Amino acid sequence: MNNKISNKDKKDWENFLSNKDHLPDKDNIQNNKKVKKKKSLDLHGYSLDNANKVLEDFIKKSYEEKIFKLIIVTGKGLHSDNEKNPYVSKDLSILKYSIPEFVKNNSELMKIISDIKEASIEDGGSGAFYIYLKKK
């Protein structure tokens, strides 16, 4: 390897350094693609009433923070105490079905929500769902 720098290379380097108009500062460049902010909330262990209150506050706060996507983890109901209650279907997990219904029936929340979908497997699958918020 040759450690000597030619005069041409020195001149090219000096031209490169002096030509700041064509050198973008990558630290200050804002990416044109919007970074989609997301937050998650795990409702394992919450009672239905408490989960509804926490979720309502979480959605409103996230909307104010301009969050785009919420991941709400309810669980699949596999470890719930439904089996002990003879008046509740053993196939029905309380939070899994009740939380999305609470959100859909809350007109105040639906004004700021654009969509609700089941989560992909990496985010909890059938034990979670997404809430997409409208732009503020």
Would you list the domain boundaries of the chain? 38-133
Alpha carbon separation from 53 to 12, 13, 49 (Å, rounded): 65, 62, 6
The one-character DSSP state at 92 is -
Task: Judge whether residue 90 has pLDDT over 60.
Answer: no
pLDDT of residue 46: 86
Higher pLDDT, 98 or 17: 98
pLDDT of residue 26: 62
Maximum pairwise Cα distance, the chain: 89
Coil, strand, or helix at residue 114?
strand
Structure tokens belonging to residue 87:
């008046």
* Topology adopted by domain 38-133: Ribosomal Protein S8; Chain: A, domain 1 (3.30.1370)
Confidence of residue 30 (pLDDT cuts 50, 70, 90): low
Average pLDDT, the chain: 80
